[in-house]
Structure 1
């Protein structure tokens, strides 16, 4: 009997991670309700810019981000999965309506998620400088100058 329970748990975990990666592969405003089966209602979310508490806050944040983007694509390059957590290494490509709108920007990052039947904790790690700041005209020039001086 333990084997059957174990395989059910593995199947649920695999389905949850598949749904998570599928949503973020090409997130869109029309698919935001799909987050209801991925995140718990009291999801805790952190990234370099903000901390959010609750699925509604995550949906609202994504709604704002997606409305500012022409396109977003996340490619999962590697994953480490355990019984109640996973770490995903990813590359994100996006076109932002205000920051170099005709250019595809790219960022690399890592996401840590913790879950039971749904994800209750997510923390994203990525470099805001390479993802966004360096593409802002004046700020980007200053950052490149600082990087050159630090790098020698």
Structure 2
């Protein structure tokens, strides 16, 4: 792994959409293990299917990389995602901060784990459920 592998990963994510998911094969190993707060998938075909379902109802999705750390065959990317989904947050944009732990083999990502607040990303923007989650968060902070 080197800086160009990380740069290719970032460039791919910043241009990714429902019409170019075949580009995932340019950055992910066929045996990819992908984990986020909502799912865990194994293998490139399963990952591509997962992304297809994610992107299906998105109006837009953008990643801004804010920092990156790397050593040997690992990297950590700190990012802010801004997305828009017609059924969430009244169709308005949502911003979520997160980070990704990546492990590379042969220049491709074989392990990808995202760390982010699933409530801030999804649950807080679902009608009724969002109000309940915000209420619980407010009470917990008192």
- Normalising by structure 1, report the TM-score: 0.88
TM-score where L is the length of structure 2: 0.94
Aligned pair count reads 141
When the two chains are superposed, the root-mean-square deviation of aligned CA atoms in Å is: 1.2
1:147 matched to 2:137: yes
Matched, 1:70 2:64: no
User: 1:35: Cα distance to partner?
Assistant: 1.2
C-alpha distance in 2 between matches for 1:101 and 1:27: 24
Counterparts of 1:80-119 in structure 2 under 5 Å?
A: 80-100=69-89, 102-116=91-105, 117-119=107-109
Unaligned runs of 5+ in 1: 1-11
Deviating more after overlay: 106-115 vs 93-102: 93-102
Residue 22 of structure 2 aligns with which residue?
33
* Greater fraction of residues in strand: 2
Q: Rg larger in 1 or in 2?
A: 1
Q: Which runs of 4+ in 1 moved over 3 A?
A: none
Gaps of 5+ in 2: none
Q: Which has the higher helix share?
A: 1
Alignment of structure 1 residues 11-30 onto 2, 5 Å: 13-30=2-19
